[in-house]
């Protein structure tokens, strides 16, 4: 790159943690233009994407761990004799929606696996 070498580690962390590029630039003591230039660099972009994916994966792991607790809470609302009708209805709707989404996802994965098997068998 034909411009001043900045601490790319700190810049990547700022881009990830700050709500805007302007805030990230301010945190790093550089202009927004400098950050945008770096974001065009393939190596910088790859490292930024890698770190963003790591954060998303960790967030997804946490959400998966909370899924069982959330399901238990929803069931407890449905079983609560003191729950209002509107709470029971909203909870029931959510349970149906989540269940349908899970079934749809399973079906998509199953169909994808079948297609992959068909493609693999044609190659043989």
pLDDT one-digit tens code per residue, 76-122:
999 999 999 999 999 999 999 999 999 999 999 999 999 999 999 99
Is residue 5 located within the same domain as residue 62? Answer: yes
Q: Is residue 25 part of a domain?
A: yes
Find out whether 37 and 25 touch, Cβ atoms under 8 Å: no
**Full domain range(s) for residue 24:** 1-66
How much is the pLDDT for 2?
A: 40
Do residue 35 and residue 90 come from a single domain?
no
What is the percentage of the chain residues whose pLDDT exceeds 90? 82
Task: Look up residue 65 and give its two tokens.
Answer: 């761990």
Averaged pLDDT for residues 57-64: 91
Task: Say if 38 falls within a structural domain.
Answer: yes
Q: Which residues contact 124 (CB under 8 A, 6 or more apart)?
A: none
Coil vs helix vs strand at 7: coil
Determine contact, residues 93/77, Cβ cutoff 8 Å. Answer: no
Question: In the predicted model, what is the mean pLDDT of the chain?
Answer: 91
Of 66, 91, 110, which one is at a domain's C-terminal end?
66
Q: Specify the number of domains making up the chain.
A: 2
Give the residue among 44, 46, 9 at the shortest CA–CA distance from 28: 9
């Amino acid at each position: 790159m034909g411009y001043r070498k900045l601490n790319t580690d700190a810049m990547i962390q700022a881009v990830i943690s700050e709500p805007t590029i302007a805030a990230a630039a301010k945190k790093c003591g550089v202009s927004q233009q400098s950050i945008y230039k770096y974001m065009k660099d393939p190596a910088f972009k790859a490292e930024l994407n890698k770190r963003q994916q790591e954060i998303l994966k960790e967030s997804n792991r946490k959400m998966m761990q909370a899924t069982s607790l959330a399901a238990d809470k929803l069931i407890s609302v449905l079983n609560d004799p003191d729950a209002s009708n509107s709470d029971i209805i909203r909870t029931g709707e959510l349970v149906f929606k989540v269940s349908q989404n899970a079934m749809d996802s399973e079906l998509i994965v199953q169909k994808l696996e079948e297609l992959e098997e068909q493609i693999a068998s044609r190659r043989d």
